[in-house]
Amino acid sequence: MRTRNVGPFEVSAIGLGCMGLSHGYGPATPPDRAAEVLLGALDAGYTFIDTAALYGMGRNEILLGEVLGPRRDDYILASKCGLSLNGKREQNGRPEILKATCEESLRNLRTEVIDLYYLHRWDRNVPIEESVGALGELVTEGKIRAVGLSEVSAPTLRRAHATWPIAALQTEYSPWTRNPEIAVLDACRELGVAFVAFSPVGRGMLAGGVSDPAQLQPGDLRLVMPRFMGQAFQANLKLFTAFAALAREAGCTPAQLCLAWLLARDPIVVPIPGTTNPSHMRENAAAADLQLATDVVARIDELLNPATVTGGRYASTAGAGVETEMFPGEP
């Protein structure tokens, strides 16, 4: 697979988001199938693996440690802190909590060092400088190699970067979620920060994975997301039908069209699609080799943009381009 740079690391142009293997979109994936996805990803050329302490309240990290621990040298490992405490979801950015979470994650992941460690969300009760400073101390101690942030605004990124160099900023980005284009992508370019795009295929919608919300299983976070509800879903489904037609013209699948579109936006962008299906994992990897014609990119931009997509990202949001509210288990 082609590669891109995330901080000091050279990683596969497309990474693997692992949250869905443990929770978020329904029941946890059976262990054998999860192992097939994870080990198959390494064999398919993925070298950037993303998890978090929050996912399954540690179960996702434990899964990765058990399955991928023996191949630890084959991939760059990213995890996150600041949203889980004592087995429950709790936003807490105090330095001592972040450091304790890191120690637990190291044990769960069966590794001596985490390559990229994100502050999962900024705790507004703690200055960003204090939280990021604690992560910088973890670098100095050899517990992590680089610091990242998730779902913060451009001004917050700049404040954090002035405290300790930020290697990557992660947030949702896809043809139907364009919030980063308001200011965050420009800030990342200015500061030399990689942009890691989670939910790059529209939470499955732009991959053709959701034809009817009634098919979603209990506990699936999409059940309470505005874009998947009622008339909004029906309107967005029509957009997907047109998007799928574009993919056929381009000679690829809708998911591949999403990923290729993201890779065409800027060399700093690294999408991390998740899947519980080994064939979808391989399908996503193949998107790294696609080159989209300029007119195809323009047609995607015309079809899917803030003016055409119906419904917000979440039922509650702090507004475009700034820190957002989050559902339990969100990336």
pLDDT by residue (tens digit) across 75-119? 999 999 999 877 778 899 999 999 999 999 999 999 999 999 999
Neighbouring C-beta atoms of residue 231, cutoff 10 Å: 9
Joined together, the tokens standing for residue 161 give 């970067």
Whether the CB-CB separation of 69 and 110 falls below 8 Å is answered with: yes
Pick 3-303's CATH classification: 1.20.1260.10, 3.20.20.100, 3.20.20.60, 3.40.50.2300.
3.20.20.100
- How many CA atoms lie less than 13 Å away from 86 in the CB half-sphere? 2
**Is a pLDDT exceeding 70 seen at residue 317?**
no
- pLDDT at residue 329 in the model: 43
Rg (CA), the chain: 18
- pLDDT at residue 324 in the model: 45
- Segment 185-210 shows an average pLDDT of 97
- pLDDT at residue 85 in the model: 75
- pLDDT at residue 321 in the model: 37
Q: Name the one residue in this structure whose structure tokens are 């869905």.
A: 20
Contacts of 295 (CB under 8 A, 6+ apart): none
**Is a pLDDT exceeding 60 seen at residue 320?**
no
Provide the annotated active-site residues. 55
In this predicted model, what pLDDT tens digit does every residue of 321-331 receive, in sequence order?
Answer: 334 444 444 56
- pLDDT at residue 87 in the model: 76
Contacts of 290 (CB under 8 A, 6+ apart): 250, 252, 256, 259, 260, 263
